[in-house]
Chains A and B, each alone.
Chain A
Amino acid sequence: MRWCFSPGRLVHPALLAASLVMAEIAPSSSIFAGRLPCDVPEELMQVDDKMPHLAERLSAGQPVKIVAIGGASTTGLAAGSSDLAYPHRLQEILTRWYPSSSVAVVNRGVPRQTARQMLERFPTDVIPEDPVLVIWETGTTDAVRGVGVDDFAAVLQAGIDELKTHGTDVMLVDMQFSHSTTAVIDFEQYLNALHRVGDVNDVNVFPRFEMMRYWSEQNVFNFDGVAKDERASLAARVYECIAGKLAETIRLALR
């Protein structure tokens, strides 16, 4: 699990050839198209940790409930509808892949909340759902507001501990990337903290920040200078890619 160096930056020259090919392909509407426009370098799809509880349910063909808790990018507001948000997309993909289990992904996104505020929602929004996997997307608001990074790490730790006592698998999702926001906000220490908490707890961290940076650098998506009427469709496409990558990550963690 990497949390210090951005791989996109380190391996940049090595990826050039692949990226040239990818840049040719316009982002299509379906991630199931022959060649995926939202491909990412292999290092970003390294999955070190298992999801034993989810694996058990799926192999037994039992129903599966996943809770996605997070901020605005979990709600999917930017795309215009929660059906276009990544949790719903993820549900569609997993339902297709695991037809014998009924898969539900519950969206528990609330914009502009710190990790602590999300943790406070666990007893009402997460635990009562009795999920087998919780996807926790967090860190943006903490970085924006400059919450103490040790505090942030401690809150993540408390959240993971709580979920583990309920026998729930956990996956963390880090922040969104764009040039303009990284110019004003120092995400790095929060990214490092988040990835390290995952590392220490043997919990997968989905490197959304690095993926989006990669897409931005390869001109797959341009997050910064978007015309007004294209913004919602851009968001929808990005959320779809994120969902696809999340689904792949889950599949790898089930192996």
Chain B
Amino acid sequence: MPASSRDLRLDFFRGLALIFIFVDHIPENVLSYFTIQAIQLFDAAEVFIFISGYTAALVYGQTLLAQGSLYATARVLARAWQLYIAHIFLFVMFIAEVSYTVTTFNNPMYNDEMRVGDFLDEPHVAIVKALLLQFQPTFLDILPLYILLLAIFPAVLLGLRWRPLIVLIPSFLVYLVVQDTNLSVPAYPEGHVWYFNPLAWQFLFIAGAALGFPGRHSEQWSRWSRPLLPLAAFAVAVSFVIKLSWTLHGIWDPLPGVLLKELWPVNKNNLSAIRLIPFFAAVAVAAAVVRADAVILRSRVAKPLVLCGQQSLEIFCLGILLSALGHFVLSEYDSAIGIQILVNLAGILVMCLTARMLDWYKTMGRMQVPRSTPAQFGRGNRIDT
């Protein structure tokens, strides 16, 4: 697939989601008032998972159609393995940070409660549970979801090739069952569940995949969604008014939060319909407003975001590490608003520069072996799933 025909919207919006995830993960961060979660009932996690499903189907769907199911399966599983390694790496970094802080900090006022140390108490269990994706400390909860979704993805791909509804209907039914029964997946320690309930979130990923699978569906999708566009715009507007009022209510109490008592808390673990419906509406609106050939996507301003979106795994992991570091700097040294903004900007700059460097590195790598890679897939591979 030639670069010019690739849908840069995927890269752009995923890049934006990665920046938002970084910003939102720094606690008490003034910039988090300017991310999507401040003005919509959903947040960057939905964007990330949906686009990841879409691009996974796009890239591996092409592999499936051109090189057969066995090779497509192998590629998907290789990617899942790569994500798993990344997850374990982040976990080790997390352990290092927490162990260090906990063992150097000794104050009886906190000791009894602050033993983050469930895993310092029994490391042999905790590490095995981490390897099994059952131990998911803060920030380390989205990659396990992604890994699990990729592990089942070969079957999803085959289903999508045959009849999309064969995949979509069961996926949606499982989602509905979760909404009704609160069914969840157990985690460690005892009594915990997966933060991103895979039984619910799979629907978002698979819906993205159904739309992204190469071939017939994209035309149908735009024909379908056009008449629904005013309704979608209305849903986005309602979600905007509600969430903005909550955000402002949080800053200044006398401003009332619209429907706050009725709707809050909106369940994120199970991807409540109150999040999902505005998200799908926002996808329809964004797809209609920002065309695939929009000039802005090729502009210099959008370039860094597009690059971040293309190198999503590395930039995601980097973002998680940087938000932990940013949090550390702000809580340890100074958290004046100026410093907060500086920490955010520095993090975003590092993310963008890293994406630029990775893009250069991978492009150079491809140029050295032009004959071994068929040209059309050489470019297609560049889209990170």
Contact = CB atoms under 8 A, between A and B. Distances in A.
B327 interface: yes
Contacts of A5: 28, 250-251
Contacts of A178: 107, 109-110
A148 B269 contact: yes
A145 B114 contact: no
A95 B201 CA distance: 54
A184 B107 contact: no
A154 B265 contact: yes
B293 interface: no
Interface stretch (B72-80, B97-105, B306-314, B362-370): B97-105
A16 interface: no
B136 interface: yes
A176 B269 CA distance: 26
B150 to A, nearest CB: 23
A251 interface: no
Interface in A181-218: 181-189, 192-193, 196, 199-200
Contacts of A183: 101, 327-328, 331-332
B220 interface: no
A252 interface: no
B289 interface: no
B186 interface: no
B23 to A, nearest CB: 13
B269 A150 contact: yes
B261 interface: yes
A238 interface: yes
A82 interface: no
A234 B109 contact: yes
B138 interface: yes
Contacts of B381: none
Most A CB within 10 A of own CB, among B114, B267, B268: B114
Interface string A162-179: 000000000000001011
B137 interface: yes
Interface string A58-74: 00000000000001110
B251 A200 contact: no
B109 A238 contact: yes
B238 to A, nearest CB: 20
Interface stretch (A34-42, A98-106, A224-232): A224-232
The range of chain A's interface size is 35 or more
Given A179-B332, A186-B27, A188-B27, A71 B327 contact: no
With most chain A CB atoms within 10 A of its CB, the pick from B193, B264, B337 is: B264
Contacts of A141: 113
A70 B181 CA distance: 30
Nearest to A117: B191
A175 to B, nearest CB: 9
B102 A184 contact: yes
A112 B113 contact: yes
A77 B253 CA distance: 36
B42 interface: no
B179 interface: no
B113 A186 contact: no
Contacts of A116: 191
A14 to B, nearest CB: 14
A25 interface: no
Contact of A196 (B102, B264, B327, B336): B264
Contact of B114 (A2, A144, A189): A144
B138 A186 contact: yes
A45 interface: no
Contacts of B265: 149-150, 153-154, 193, 196
22 contacts: A2-B253, A9-B335, A72-B111, A73-B113, A77-B112, A78-B108, A140-B113, A144-B113, A146-B137, A146-B192, A147-B192, A151-B269, A178-B110, A179-B332, A183-B327, A184-B98, A186-B138, A187-B27, A189-B27, A224-B107, A226-B107, A231-B109
Query: Which are the 4 A-B pairs with shortest beta-carbon distances?
Result: A72-B112, A4-B250, A188-B27, A78-B108
Interface of B: 27-28, 97-98, 101-102, 105, 107-116, 118, 136-138, 189, 191-193, 195, 247, 250-251, 253, 260-261, 264-269, 327-328, 331-332, 335-337
Given A178-B109, A185-B116, A193-B265, 9 more contacts: A4-B247, A77-B108, A146-B195, A148-B195, A154-B265, A176-B113, A187-B27, A196-B264, A223-B109
